[in-house]
Amino acid sequence: MKNNVYITNSTTYRQDFAIIAGWVGFGSKVLDLGCGDGELLTYLRTSLEIKGYGVEKDDTNWLACLQNGTNVIQMDLEDGLSGFENQSFDTVVLSQTLQAMHNTEEIVKEMLRVGREVIVTFPNFGYWRNRVQIASGGHMPVSKDLPYQWYDTPNVHLCTINDFDKFCNNYKISVIERKVITDGIEVSFMPNLLGNLAMYRLKAS
Amino acid sequence: MSENSLNSVGIVAPQTAHFSEPLTLKNGEVLPQFDLVYETYGTLNASKSNAVLICHALSGNHHAAGKYAETDKNAGWWDNLIGPNKALDTNKFFVIGLNNLAGCHGSSGPSSINPESKKPYGASFPIVTVEDWVNSQARLLDYLGIKTLAAVIGGSLGGMQALQWTIAYPDRVKHALVIASAPNLTAQNMAFNEVARQAIITDPEFYEGDYYAHSAVPRRGLRIARMLGHITYLSDDAMGEKFGRKVKDKIKYSFDVEFEMESYLRYQGDKFAGEFDANTYLRMTRALDYYDPALEFGGDLTAALSKVKAQFLVVSFTSDWRFSPDRSREIVKALLDNELTVSYAEVTALHGHDAFLMPDAHYHTILRSYLQKIEIQ
């Protein structure tokens, strides 16, 4: 797996952060899974004075967190969250990492166990540009948001907004709020076609 | 000249602190008086806020850095970490290393002279615990006029002391670096200690622990104990890489040294048996066995750490099977449950438990980065 901070290469991350900040309470306790170099937690710490912890597997990212003052636990998310107590965080975040998880159901279940609320963001595979690449060229989409070839991608579980809605429905997960953005602008019309980053605020129902 | 010798703390000298106030031990016994031998590196600042205590492991002592003479073959046991501009920077910190009670390097212990009887304590020296060590270390800080430690740092059994510091003296320690350690030993881990002790105790030269009076040394037992220890401190892969099945000379079909590995173990065992005290070894392994801060909380480590205030760095090594990453994660979980400030690194390393003493670049960068961020008022 590549050691990139973000497995997609979105330029919309600030928007992404701002929306997440809107869903996180002031001074709350936040766990960021696959926290990269700790950028989101640093942002939330500065803007909302949260008590934040990150989980990161990669040595370089882990060290960057330590150096910028982010509490960081080195572990592999694929092993689950057994090191975290039930309902011990206000919010658990999985930012643009869901699509790279092998055990997708398990991690979502674990997040809902550990967090009172869960934020999941992922690149929407139903975005029209992805559809055009498949329909016109007959190739797997490669873009700035999904910069990998089919054979070297860490993104093993790409999904569309419709797919994720169905997933939440199947697993009885409540969607408190959903936002879809494209290039930093919120999309409300035909989001599964026009949105490239899906953001969900969830809780167990 | 290596980078290490350029950044050395240089020539150091041990000092001895005498304590005439009795120390009540966990087992109920009282040490009426005791000595602690210690070394310091760097300078204590005016506010006495830059002190870092080094807690040693099973066979360690106060000589953590520098040399006693230019001609010394080896520097202190953690010299790769401690010195000017090293990861534990003596330009910033005042570093204290000490020899724990029951040690055999100058602090009061079985082989030292009991001031009352004028004879070696021998078997009469009490069985001390991690808790007793930390209490005696607090006395040393009082003696040095230090109220609060900027950090306490230790690996293995030393990590247990670092953890115990945060439990017993929550207001006296700002940061704890707990490396390759555990919140207690597993049955398997204690079993190794028991075999080591049996090797010593059943040595005919042991004389129930009073071998000094018989001018004897239970060398065989101590040698076997140490050989066993060395096997458990290394990973299978590390032993494979270091020795493999390499034959020393050529196979002789005998019980002499045939393989390189045997040569290494015998050398380490002989060397140790010639310089360490068997009674100390017995007590150090017992301190490991007994340590279990969660015990009086019904096994709940989270509850045991409920009064802790320190910030933590917890480090484990992937190939360490004697103090496995799982055990460090138990500590991390209990700290997280208490909403304490903690970071945890699982360092990919080949060398097993011994990795905590190795100058691995990533490992040392972790310690350096953490220590650099500690603010000294």
pLDDT band for position B19 (cuts 50, 70, 90):
very high
**Residue B359: pLDDT over 80:** yes
Tens-place pLDDT, residues A82-127 = 999 999 999 999 998 999 899 999 999 999 999 999 999 999 988 9
Closest chain B residue to A51, measured at CA: B339
Position A2 scores a pLDDT of 36
Cα(A107)–Cα(A99) distance, rounded to whole angstroms?
11
| Cβ pair B346:A53 closer than 8 A | no
**Rounded-to-integer distance, Cα A48 and Cα A37, Å:** 19
Residue B89 designated active-site = no
A59 in B contact zone (CB under 8 Å): yes
B175 is catalytic: no
Residue tagged 């936002």 (tokens): A179
Say yes or no: B334 contacts chain A, CB-CB below 8 A: no
Query: How many residues are recorded in chain A?
Result: 205
For residue A58, is pLDDT > 60?
A: yes
Please give the Cα distance from B74 to B12 (Å, whole number).
Answer: 13
Instruction: List, for residues A122-141, the tens digit of each pLDDT value.
Output: 999 889 999 989 999 898 99
Contact A74 B362 (CB under 8 A): no
pTM over 0.90: yes
pLDDT, tens digit, for every residue of B150-175?
999 999 999 999 999 999 999 999 99
pLDDT at residue A45, rounded to an integer: 96
Å from A29 to nearest chain B CA? 9
In chain A, the N- to C-terminal Cα span, in Å, equals: 34
A83–B contact, CB cutoff 8 A: yes
* Chain segment B318-352, per-residue pLDDT in tens: 999 999 999 999 999 999 999 999 999 999 999 99
pLDDT in tens, A24-43: 999 999 999 999 999 999 99
Phi, psi of A127 (to 5 degrees): -55, 140
Q: What sign does the CA torsion over A81, A82, A86, A88 have? A: negative
Residue B335 CA, chain-centre distance (Å), reads 22
Confidence of residue B5 (pLDDT cuts 50, 70, 90): low
Distances (CA, A) of B212 to B60, B61, B111: 22, 21, 8
pLDDT interval class at A16 (50, 70, 90): confident
- Cβ burial of B317 (10 Å; 0-12, 13-18, 19+) is buried
Percent of the residues in chain B that have a pLDDT greater than 70, as a whole number: 98
For B59-84, what is each residue's pLDDT tens digit?
A: 999 999 999 999 999 999 999 999 99
Q: Does B336 touch chain A (CB under 8 A)?
A: yes
Whether the pLDDT of residue A5 is over 90: the answer is no
- Terminal CA-CA length for chain B: 35
CA-nearest of B82, B99, B78 to B15 is B99
Extents of the domains making up chain A? 17-124+157-204
Rounded to a whole number, what is the distance in Å from the CA of B249 to chain A's nearest CA?
Answer: 42
Checking if the pLDDT of A9 tops 60, the result is no
Q: Where are the alpha helices (DSSP H) in A49-200?
A: 59-67, 104-114, 128-132, 161-170, 191-194
CB pairs < 8 Å spanning A and B? 47
Pairwise CA distance, residues B223 & B249, whole Å: 23
Please provide the average confidence, as pLDDT, over all residues in chain B: 96
pLDDT of residue A137: 86
Q: For residue B320, indicate whether it is catalytic.
A: yes
A63 to chain B, any CB pair closer than 8 A? The answer is yes
C-beta atoms of B343 and A72 within 8 A: yes
Which residues from A are below 8 Å from B361, CB to CB? none
Residue B373 pLDDT more than 70?
yes
Given A53, A66, A74, which is nearest B369 (Cβ)? Answer: A66
Contacts of A98 (CB under 8 A, 6+ apart): A104, A107, A108, A120, A121, A122, A157
B342 and A71: CB-CB below 8 Å? yes
* Inter-chain residue contact A73 with B365, CB threshold 8 Å: no
Strand partners, B362: none
What value of ipTM does the predicted structure carry?
Answer: 0.94
**In CATH, what number does A17-124+157-204 get?**
3.40.50.150
Average pLDDT over residues B266-275: 96
**pLDDT tens profile B292-327:** 999 999 999 999 999 999 999 999 999 999 999 999
Chain A hits for B366, Cβ within 8 Å: 63, 66
In this predicted structure, the answer to whether residue A8 has a pLDDT above a threshold of 90 is no
Q: What is the pLDDT of residue A7?
A: 45
Q: Which pLDDT score, from 0 to 100, does residue B226 have?
A: 97
B328: left (phi over 0), alpha (psi -120 to 50) or beta: alpha
Query: Beta B119-120 vs B151-155: how paired, if at all?
Result: unpaired
Is B369 within 8 Å of A63 when comparing Cβ atoms?
yes
Catalytic residue, from B320, B328, B351, B360: name it.
B320
pLDDT of residue A11: 46
Give the model confidence (pLDDT) of B81-120 as tens digits.
999 999 999 999 999 999 999 999 999 999 999 999 999 9
pLDDT of amino acid A10: 46
* Among B61, B81, B73, B100, CA closest to B371: B81
Amino acid at B242: K
